[in-house]
Amino acid sequence: MNIEQTETEILNTGTEPLLSVKDLKTYFFTDEGTVKAVDGASFDVQSGTTLGIVGESGCGKSITAKSILQIIDSPGRIVDGEVNFNPNGEASRNLLEMKPNGSDIRSVRGGDISMIFQEPMTSFSPVHTFGNQIIEAIRLHSSLEIKEAHDLAVDWMSRVGIPNPEQRMSEYAYQFSGGQRQRAMIAMALCTEPKLLIADEPTTALDVTTQAQILDLLQSLQKQNGMSIMFITHDLGVIAEIADTVAVMYLGRVVEVGPVETIFSSPKHPYTKALLSSVPTVYAAPRERLPSITGAIPHPQNRPSGCAFHPRCSSYMSEICSVKEPELLSVGTDQQASCFLYGRD
């Protein structure tokens, strides 16, 4: 993470972001009721930068990512919002307007936008070889022959640091270690040179050492080809290391957005503040109680009225917080937060 680089890049590409998500709403219509997994999320990804999306389990981060590519399983459905994608600097297209599973969105999937997932073991088919699956990705988005695609795949496998790539091509997922599987997944995602890589908790299932290696790998690949990364995690430490911009999500909405240093040094939203202060630190006094956020995350079906965080908020204001829902407002030069502390609507 590099302060100067981030700012220059934001200035250089102008204000048109690579990906702009506005007011995304994805609901799950189950027998027990409607679950509003994502209920109005908005954020931007500038090209060449890394946006980190952070939040507790169940806040809707993964669903948001999947909604961008329209790969939500039923009974989920995207009910509202725009996802404007602008890979070439020309007019942006709203991805959500593309026919579900139609050829338009399918050329974006794996082509301009690639996605990697949390569980590399189960994300590969156990009965097809690696080579088969990577070559398939390549040939879906290019007109390469099998031989050429094969060579390209081997090239990428070595770029991500897998030893003996030629041999690996004819092996199966269960024959790899966890870290190598994740590298293979990255190779498969990047071999089509996407403009945006969505990484859905890719390091959560890995041990700390491997995690560090994967993060380094991602950063160096990003430097090489200038792609953007949307990195989803619940681990604040990872965010600190890899993100340029951070979006904090709570119960399906983005509650704060801003550059990573600003978020960490002066968080504005009470939830962000509480999150940061609950991270154990070496500098705490001995025997001091670990601060935690009071209450528990409500079930998405029992959404509190008004601001979703208000039952647990230490800055709760009774006249408004339980009545109206706050919008994302600018706070400072480059930060946004959705909280009535910073202005009424």
**Residues in the site for other proteins, rule: CB under 8 A?**
66, 69, 71, 73, 101, 103, 106-111, 114-115, 117-119, 122-128, 136-137, 140-141, 172, 174, 185, 188, 294-296, 298-299, 302, 304, 311, 314, 316, 318, 322
Cβ 302 to other proteins, closest distance in Å?
6
CA distance 130 to 123: 11
Give me the DSSP letters along 150-170: HHHHHHHHHHTT-SSHHHHTT
Cβ 197 to other proteins, closest distance in Å?
11
CA distance 43 to 53: 10
**Start-to-end Cα distance in the chain:** 34
Cβ 173 to other proteins, closest distance in Å?
9
* CB-nearer residue toward other proteins: 118 or 233: 118
CA distance 171 to 162: 13
List of residues 6+ apart from 306 with CB closer than 8 A: 320, 321, 322, 323, 324, 325
CA distance 268 to 266: 6
Cβ 322 to other proteins, closest distance in Å?
6
Calculate helix-pair angle for 208-225, 178-190, nearest 10 degrees: 20
* CB-nearer residue toward other proteins: 192 or 222: 192
Cβ 246 to other proteins, closest distance in Å?
24
Write out the two tokens for 123. 């994300």
Write out the two tokens for 32. 């027990």
* CB-nearer residue toward other proteins: 107 or 220: 107
* CB-nearer residue toward other proteins: 23 or 136: 136
Cβ 274 to other proteins, closest distance in Å?
13
* CB-nearer residue toward other proteins: 178 or 304: 304
* CB-nearer residue toward other proteins: 190 or 236: 190
